Structure 1
């Protein structure tokens, strides 16, 4: 078994090269033409980013686990990144999370030996790490990791896609007890020649000096060097955002990373937005996100039912997302809600409640030892961990449909106003534009009391499941309450625009 693992590591390492068609600088300059500077927050509408022109940028898209590192039991199988980008472009997506795992092997959800490559650090050629290879040297970065990072971001940018660079990974800890990725973690002192590390834990906790906490001064120095290396690698790219960690990290540590990035980028040509996504762990509340110094956030259901058995959701982001009036750009992610889940109705509910919805897409299914033990497998072996699961096509396409509508209006002036429409799903400025979702079809009453009574409002219906629009020839006047009946038996979107 040990010989097999070493051979697999060598197979992965043999792919450690990147080809540039031009110099990295010229590739970046060409790619940046698709964007108008890095994204930044907007003081007039905290729900959306703006670019250098002041235009509001609505973010949406698919992300998948293997879009940066190669992942798998079969190490000869390569992820088709270009085909994935082609799908995103065809679906009119403009955002992805670029996934990383800190560990080199194993996963907490399967007993099988899964490998992750490339890794942040070079091997030392000395000793033996938990994955069967030699130990890591925390003073020597694996340049291929960073070259690949840069090139993947440029490839996405050439298709108009923004990329959130995931810096750390909460699932590189033993979260489930099925298998322990800490065994193959470079920051486990048993796996490096530098004698630096932290204690193992199922979750990050500042009082226990875990890996993503403020209680490990030597490890913090190592993490700081890594963060700065990432910034040096991608700072000149306009389509970059940062994400501190996927579902991990003590709150104080998250703030430390955010502040470190901000301070270090002050001396650089460009500054990029920084995200704080839910750690999804006991004791953490969504208010920590909303009160943080992050530019964007991604929450989870609250309360977590596994942490508080028998409770009901107070913030139900799956079925009825609360209107985003939290004062933060909120990139609402199916990953932090279902894991494997979501549907096209969720896309429209999220859009009309002021969110930027994104999809955890099993475009390349995540490796599992057995699907039979999980909740997303149904009779006959039908699995949600499958690119072609029927709901996923409609999630992908409707994210793009919603973006087209967002791009067609002056989004910077629109806010979620549930009380304006009887369905509760309304994005509007209350005077010129109303985007209303009818999740159950039927009809909807809209409060147009603040509208110009002499102005015409033109009506357009959009049917998400059909990707079909219907423009109505006869406009309505502003003022009073107006009722509109959806001319379709399914769900629909009503768009009212003045003049």
Structure 2
């Protein structure tokens, strides 16, 4: 009984420092992670961030699905921000709990009047049930080898989203939040909310310190809603200060831009820089010199086709990224196993088939000694058809991997002849169909000069691995 009790304490994070070391940057190549002693890339197709705050979401079924599909990441929000049914046209949105089914870090008061049902919040008291659910979720993910990226805050895109936040003055009994939605995440115009935000960060960071599978994201999409950069840096400082006297130190992630941007004067405590809708992955070469993980941790607004988001993931990883999270709308509270079919008006896609395809990507990366590789723009020689893009990683003379993206969606499969700048040697060449996972291999004996490689016929994409 005593042993069982101790195990429960460790799993729920009540005893810090006894769990495995937290996920970290890999010591030999900080563009990638080290987790449980192994080189790691994080790849997933995860739900729309409501796994904890929505009491109707069965996160065990959800996490079991990710594990079955061979994926190792999920992203979730804390509850400082939430949505209402219908926002962004998302069907069965997990971020939009039904009335009475929303749980937040702060305890409810005795005073009725919360905008979406129930009593108002008391921003000076914590809801133990919330933190029990948060730790149960993180612990269940840890048991399944799944890393949780916890986005602490999110801007309010529209007024209707601000007026349902617990931080809005109409929704709490503390007379706090009498500010505009573009002032909430500022150091100088927040109307007393900064102290509430800092207290929340300290509480969450302390509660989760015993877990090995947590990344703390400062704020989702801070480039909307007036979020100040110095406020973001202050939140990073609070995370560092809170963990200073705690056993474990966790990675901090920062969301930089939609698409691409060059990062200027990064905060020294930030280890992962995330982008949304980062295709083509121009942001990777722009920021590779930072020697930190670069992530594409939200996709969407390009239809519902699986191939769209499969190709985005393969391109980003083979360009040198270390994290990819497709935003998967097939996970809902009604169908937490990811079998819901998003309709044509959905802002994105997601399906069991897509998750299987991203599993092939993860398997492909795991077959490489990728911490010894780096982006290689000189591996392929000659001119490609204008419809194609190629991204390559290499460890010169030992291992190569590249991905061919054909944006023309050809109706018939055709081979492609490539000239490779390959040192002399004997190699095994393996072709992988990213849609089906099918492989075929052959030997290549190359004497000197450029090597010529003719691929099997393929349609919209192809992955190739070459090992000496």
TM bin, normalised by shorter chain, reads 0.7 to 0.9
Please list the CA deviations of residues 115-153 of structure 1 after superposition, one character each: whole Å capped at 9, or x if unmatched: 462112112112533334332111111111111111101
Contact 2:303 2:344 in 1 (8 A): no
1:270 matches 2:270: no
Give 2:453's match in structure 1, choosing from 474, 477, 484.
Answer: 484
Secondary structure of the residue aligned to 1:255 is helix
Contact 1:106 1:181 in 2 (8 A): yes
Where do 5+ consecutive residues of structure 2 fail to align?
91-95, 335-340, 382-388, 407-413
Deviation at 1:393, TM superposition (A): 3.9
In 1, distance between residues paired with 2:73 and 2:208?
A: 16
**After the TM superposition, which residues 25-174 of structure 1 pair with which residues of structure 2 at under 5 Å, given as runs?**
25-28=9-12, 37-42=21-26, 44-51=28-35, 53=37, 55-65=38-48, 67-69=50-52, 71=54, 78-103=56-81, 106=84, 108-109=87-88, 115=99, 117-126=102-111, 128-170=113-155, 173=156
In 2, distance between residues paired with 1:176 and 1:429?
A: 48
Deviation at 1:218, TM superposition (A): 2.8
- Aligned residues between the structures: 425
Secondary structure of the residue aligned to 1:93 is coil
Contact 1:104 1:119 in 2 (8 A): no
In 1, distance between residues paired with 2:303 and 2:209?
A: 31
1:247 matches 2:221: yes
Q: Which has the higher strand share?
A: 2
Contact 1:118 1:145 in 2 (8 A): yes
In 2, distance between residues paired with 1:234 and 1:150?
A: 7
Contact 1:39 1:273 in 2 (8 A): yes
Distance 1:347 1:113, change over 3 A: closer
In 2, distance between residues paired with 1:196 and 1:28?
A: 32
1:318 matches 2:279: yes
Deviation at 1:222, TM superposition (A): 1.3
Secondary structure of the residue aligned to 2:24 is coil
Secondary structure of the residue aligned to 1:151 is helix
For the aligned residue pairs, the C-alpha RMSD in angstroms reads 3.5
Contact 2:420 2:453 in 1 (8 A): no
In 2, distance between residues paired with 1:366 and 1:237?
A: 26
User: Equivalent residue for 1:296?
Assistant: 272
State the TM-score, normalizing by the size of structure 1: 0.75
User: Equivalent residue for 1:345?
Assistant: 311
Contact 1:323 1:416 in 2 (8 A): no
Where do 5+ consecutive residues of structure 1 fail to align?
1-19, 205-209, 302-316, 368-375
Higher relative CO (Cα under 8 Å, sequence separation at least 6) belongs to 2
Distance 1:396 1:300, change over 3 A: same
Secondary structure of the residue aligned to 1:129 is coil
Please list the CA deviations of residues 243-263 of structure 1 after superposition, one character each: whole Å capped at 9, or x if unmatched: 112223321111111111112
Distance 1:113 1:365, change over 3 A: closer
In 2, distance between residues paired with 1:200 and 1:68?
A: 28
State the TM-score, normalizing by the size of structure 2: 0.80
Give 1:411's match in structure 2, choosing from 362, 370, 376.
Answer: 370
**After the TM superposition, which residues 447-458 of structure 1 pair with which residues of structure 2 at under 5 Å, given as runs?**
447-449=420-422, 451=423, 453=424, 455-458=425-428
